[in-house]
């Protein structure tokens, strides 16, 4: 039988407490800022196209992100592995999503709230990762978890995103041709540039690193893979919501991208393959070091 886990060291316990307070603050701020973005007229000052996109994003944040963050903090769920993984995923989503509000939008009345959400999400994410028992979380996944199938999905997602964004930037470097926005969202060139920078510097490396760690059956692969897949699925839902609001607002050039549901399906499939194999009860196998392969894991 496996020994009962030790109490977390003081540093980890302090990080965990602080991360939860930050997460609770983020949930409240996301709810308030998103509600203001949806119902306060002329809150956004970027023009009708970007305003419609942000309203679509706000709709998902209000309907999904804020309540899910709050749910993962309830005493009945807060310590469960699924709640920990979902909470970290929501914080990662907020860091990426609110970067657009901070660095892609014009000055508006909600900027202070968006700064607080971004900062709270960033530090909450870092502290949550510091507090996480990565080996224990990894051992909550069943030995038969198809980690290599999930790795292939992540390689496909990361590789295609890298090619798409890099080709546009390379074309500009060599020919001076301004890259087109790789989706049907109508946004200014500055936001297209920001999206390419974020994708190539944050998302692509995270997808590929998670894929490598999962393929090699590293404990960190289970954590990072779950986080990027759940956050990525929510990114796609937000994109689709943004497109839908732009179409409803009759924004010139707005349309539906038929590839977005396929991409969302890949994120959902990868998430399902991992979470369907997450056990609620404690594993009886010996704990592995986070940087060593998990024993007994197969594809």
Report the C-alpha gap between 270 and 59 in whole angstroms.
25
Cβ neighbours of residue 276 under 8 Å, at least 6 residues apart?
Answer: none
- Total Cβ atoms within 10 A of residue 46: 19
With a threshold of 0.75, does the pTM exceed it?
A: yes
Per-residue pLDDT band for 11 (boundaries 50, 70, 90) equals confident
pLDDT of residue 237: 96
Helices (H), the chain: 10-39, 48-60, 66-72, 81-103, 111-131, 134-139, 147-175, 189-198, 204-215, 219-248, 259-275
pLDDT tens string 241-258: 999 999 999 999 888 888
pLDDT, mean of residues 152-179? 84
pLDDT tens string 52-71: 999 999 999 999 999 999 99
User: Does the CA dihedral 152-153-154-158 come out positive or negative?
Assistant: positive
Give first-to-last CA distance, the chain, whole Å.
26
Report the C-alpha gap between 160 and 30 in whole angstroms.
31
**Are residues 56 and 244 in contact, defined by beta-carbon separation less than 8 angstroms?**
yes
DSSP string for 16-43: HHHHHHHHHHHHHHHHHHHHHHHHSTT-
pLDDT tens string 68-86: 999 999 999 999 999 999 9
pLDDT of residue 258: 85
């Amino acid at each position: 039988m496996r020994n009962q886990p030790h109490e977390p060291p003081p540093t980890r316990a302090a990080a965990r407490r602080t991360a939860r307070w930050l997460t609770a603050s983020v949930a409240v701020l996301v709810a308030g800022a998103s509600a203001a973005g949806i119902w306060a007229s002329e809150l956004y000052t970027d023009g009708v196209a970007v305003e419609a996109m942000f309203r679509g994003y706000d709709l998902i944040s209000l309907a999904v992100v804020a309540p899910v963050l709050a749910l993962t903090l309830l005493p009945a769920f807060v310590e469960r592995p699924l709640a920990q993984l979902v909470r970290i995923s929501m914080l990662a989503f907020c860091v990426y999503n609110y970067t657009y509000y901070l660095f892609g939008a014009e000055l508006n009345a909600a900027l202070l709230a968006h700064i607080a959400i971004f900062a709270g999400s960033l530090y909450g994410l870092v502290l949550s990762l510091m507090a996480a028992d990565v080996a224990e979380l990894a051992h909550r996944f069943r030995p038969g978890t198809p980690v290599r199938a999930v790795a292939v999905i992540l390689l496909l997602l990361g590789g295609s995103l890298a090619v798409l964004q890099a080709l546009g930037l390379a074309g500009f470097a060599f020919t001076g041709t301004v890259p087109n926005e790789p989706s049907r969202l109508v946004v200014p060139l500055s936001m297209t540039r920001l999206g390419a920078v974020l994708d190539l510097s944050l998302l692509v490396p995270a997808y590929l690193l998670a894929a490598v760690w999962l393929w090699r059956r590293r404990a960190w692969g289970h954590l990072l893979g779950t986080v990027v897949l759940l956050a990525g699925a929510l990114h796609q839902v937000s994109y689709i919501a943004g497109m839908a609001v732009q179409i409803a607002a009759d924004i010139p050039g707005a349309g539906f991208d038929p590839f977005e549901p396929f991409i969302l399906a890949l994120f959902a499939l990868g998430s399902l393959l991992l979470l369907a194999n997450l056990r609620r009860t404690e594993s009886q196998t010996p704990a592995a070091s986070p940087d060593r392969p998990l024993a007994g894991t197969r594809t």
